[in-house]
Amino acid sequence: MLIGYYEQLLVLCRGSESELRRACAKSGVPSSTFYRAKHGQELRFSTAQKIASHIQKYLNDPDESICKPSDPNGGGVLQGNDRSVNSGS
């Protein structure tokens, strides 16, 4: 049996749907795409690749959270040129 892109991305986010939702937002994927995938509609390869690249970028940096929220409430909403900020500054 094949595992779908959504399930593979969920594994990359250590099983956390909230982290996957934030990773989608941070990589520029609309929340509607996340919810459609969550409820069974398959993601396109290019969309899954974009999200996976974002997740893997953070997996390679142990000082960063996998999916840092981009707003103080943790909603993962993109605001203009949204970049991660080093917490050590």
In a domain, 74, yes or no: no
Helices and strands, number each (H, E), in the chain? 4, 0
In a domain, 87, yes or no: no
Query: Is 43 in contact with 34 (CB distance < 8 Å)?
Result: no
In a domain, 70, yes or no: no
Q: Which of 73, 70, 74 is nearest to 82 (CA)?
A: 70
- How large is the greatest C-alpha to C-alpha distance in the chain, in angstroms? 47
Q: Give the residue numbers spanning the domain of 52.
A: 5-59
Q: What pLDDT band is residue 80 in, cutting at 50, 70 and 90? A: very low
Which residues, 6 or more positions from 29, have their beta carbon under 8 angstroms from its beta carbon? 47, 50, 51
In a domain, 77, yes or no: no
pLDDT of residue 1: 74
Number of domains in the chain: 1
Total-model pTM: 0.66
What pLDDT, in 10s, does the model give residues 36-76? Answer: 999 999 999 999 999 999 998 887 775 665 555 444 444 44
Higher pLDDT, 23 or 83: 23
